[in-house]
Structure 1
Amino acid sequence: MPQAAGAVALRSSLCSMSYEKTSSPSRSTLHVAPKPTSLLQNHPLYPQTHAKLSLEFKEKILCLEVMGVDAGKALSQNPELRTVSLESIHSIISFLMSKGLQEKDLPRIFGMCPKILTSDIKTDLNPVFDFILQELKVPEHSFRRVVNKCPRLLTSSVKDQLTPAFIYLRRLGFKDLVALAYQDSVLLVSNVENTLIPKLKFLETLGLSKDEVRSMVLRCPALLTFSIENNFQPKYEYLAGEMGRKLEELKEFPQYFAFSLENRIKPRHMEIVQSGISLPLSVMLKSTDEDFRQLITQGGG
């Protein structure tokens, strides 16, 4: 059997499942395929070495690999995978697909968050989908879009992480639930005390008021995802020092922090200095390479 065909057969045998909804929306029946011992042992991906490993453990490894998940990396990041049953993994996959996730989504989701594979459906996953539905007002047919945007939602505690972050962001001024669900959902998995607040306070140390900082992050939510040490600090020092720009420009164009210091900000600033022209910060950075060259040629006009 060719390896590609064998992989398909193995996936259908090891990782096949169906999730049937009954008349009660809260109850479902999961059908797990029996262990295909002969197919497994004859499969080209079957690890002939490591003979001491149990058959079920090898099945788990193959199931992950055939799905497109790096089993070694997943086991390293989530050691609980060593003891969880294959049937439990099947249940997780079935549950996610019942929520609108597709098979092609799973390698990336599990690769980024292998902890999902050992989650408890009732106490871990169901509350997250309830949060997405009830707090973010996301309809069930759009669950897939939200989870694909931020798989870490599925590994976050609703009580300890998602709800506190949601309340804080709403108080900060994030009123657009659509944007929060589909674009800025990574903010919901950011720790309020250790991540969000320190970034706001650092921006205030630059001489910005709380209201000015709030306005900046609402215009550019990505600011709350940037590192103080690797982004804010070096970029501001270059802005105020080498570029001699005023804080007012930063207030007007907070997207400055989203551009690469080495690949965009410094090269373009140096070209402007050499050309002896002056450009607004936003024009200098947002212009395409072609438009920027044209501005340099025309002397900034």
Structure 2
Amino acid sequence: MDISNSNSHILWFFKQKGFHEKGINEIMRKCKRLESVQKQNLSENWDYLKSIGIQERKLPSIITKCPKIMTLDLNQKLIPMIQCLTTLSTKPDEVPSAITKFPHILTHSIEEKLCPLLGFFESLGVSGTQLGKLILHNPRIISYSIHSKLSGVVDFLVNIGLTKDGMIGKILVKYPSIMGYNVEKRLRPTTEFLLSLGLTKSDLQKVVINFPEVICRDVDKILKPNLDYLKTRGFGSGQIASLVGRYPPVLIKSVKNSLEPRIRFLVEVMDRGIEEAADYPEFFHHGFKKRLERREKLLKQKNVSCSLSEMLDCNHNKFLSRFDLVAKIV
């Protein structure tokens, strides 16, 4: 589609802003309303977006994703929405960052989408700066339907027993992305998989409260391959249930970059059995280079034997003091 002569001002405006003609044609195709926008309105919206802290070099990408932004009435639509979002922010860059991530946030209605969304989350115990964190860090959430999408996730969390002391609100603030997942295709299969490993309902609740990202991962692509790897290294069913119950991210960490190097170091360098990792699952949490390798080297120099928890479950100064390694500080 070529831009007609009657819309040549649009072509020249966007060309001056660094758009290629192909890209201009694309945004015109995506948003027919641009054809009726005057150059002055384009300039006003562009300048206003710059004035709130969006870098000009990022504007072409933002507008390509959502050309409708340039058709919004500056005073009736754009400014009020950004002022509303600003009241939710605690840092100057949060609103520009949210717009960059999901420009469509500006096209939604304050009365019909933003206010009901805020009310929905407040009813779950989310308030104050937490509301800003929830919406500005995951701006796509404004596009979700409260009735057909968000309520379904909340009902699912209620059904696994997360009903006390604003628990659901805390989970949503901790991991807002959970609201974007399909209950039947992702959340329910992962929780059923975790229960099949031997976790109790109480264990499952702790997983969701402390590591909600775990139930958002794909069972076949991530959880099962990690489980299979642990089995090949000799972990039994009971040990795996203990591992997952106490440190659930063991099921979502990279086998190649995290699990395998640690287990190999445990067995081949530290000369310990995998049962020690089963007894202290937090072994998979600690930094490999800065904590695990470094402390093992210091202990070997003094010929000190200790449990993994004694070795790792403290800050470095306490570790040095505990094993009389202060003289080794260089």
Which structure shows the higher helix fraction?
Answer: 2
CA distance in 2, matches of 1:255, 1:142: 24
Instruction: Tell me what 1:193 maps to.
Output: 220
Instruction: Tell me what 2:148 maps to.
Output: 123
Letter of the 1:80 partner, please give it.
Answer: H
Judging changes above 3 Å, is the alpha-carbon distance between structure 1 residues 257 and 77 closer, same or farther for their aligned structure 2 residues? same
CA distance in 2, matches of 1:139, 1:280: 37
Residues 8-47 of structure 1 correspond to what in structure 2 (within 5 A)?
A: 47=51
CA distance in 2, matches of 1:235, 1:191: 23
For residue 173 of structure 2, the aligned residue among 130, 148, 171 is 148
Answer whether contact 2:208 2:214 (CA < 8 A) is retained: no
Q: List gaps (5 residues or longer) in structure 1.
A: 1-40
Answer whether contact 1:89 1:118 (CA < 8 A) is retained: no
Quote how far apart the aligned CAs of 1:46 are: 9.2
Judging changes above 3 Å, is the alpha-carbon distance between structure 1 residues 66 and 53 closer, same or farther for their aligned structure 2 residues? farther
Q: Which has the larger radius of gyration?
A: 2
Deviates more, 1:156-165 or 1:232-241: 232-241
Q: Is the aligned partner of 1:167 residue 2:176?
A: no
Letter of the 1:152 partner, please give it.
Answer: S
Give CA-to-partner distance per residue, 1:282-301, whole Å, 9 cap, x none. Answer: 22112444543244329xxx
Judging changes above 3 Å, is the alpha-carbon distance between structure 1 residues 253 and 134 closer, same or farther for their aligned structure 2 residues? closer
Letter of the 1:96 partner, please give it.
Answer: F
Quote how far apart the aligned CAs of 1:137 are: 4.3
Quote how far apart the aligned CAs of 1:178 are: 4.1
Instruction: Tell me what 1:224 maps to.
Output: 251
Which TM-score applies when normalising by structure 1?
Answer: 0.73
| 1:101 counterpart SS class | coil
Instruction: Tell me what 2:288 maps to.
Output: 261
CA distance in 1, matches of 2:247, 2:168: 25
Instruction: Tell me what 1:293 maps to.
Output: 320
Q: List gaps (5 residues or longer) in structure 2.
A: 1-44, 60-68, 326-330
Letter of the 2:236 partner, please give it.
Answer: S
Aligned residue-pair number: 257
CA distance in 2, matches of 1:178, 1:279: 33
Instruction: Tell me what 1:64 maps to.
Output: 85
RMSD: 3.1
For residue 80 of structure 1, the aligned residue among 104, 118, 123 is 104
Instruction: Tell me what 1:214 maps to.
Output: 241
Deviates more, 1:46-55 or 1:168-177: 46-55
Instruction: Tell me what 2:163 maps to.
Output: 138
Judging changes above 3 Å, is the alpha-carbon distance between structure 1 residues 251 and 140 closer, same or farther for their aligned structure 2 residues? closer
For residue 266 of structure 2, the aligned residue among 239, 250, 253 is 239
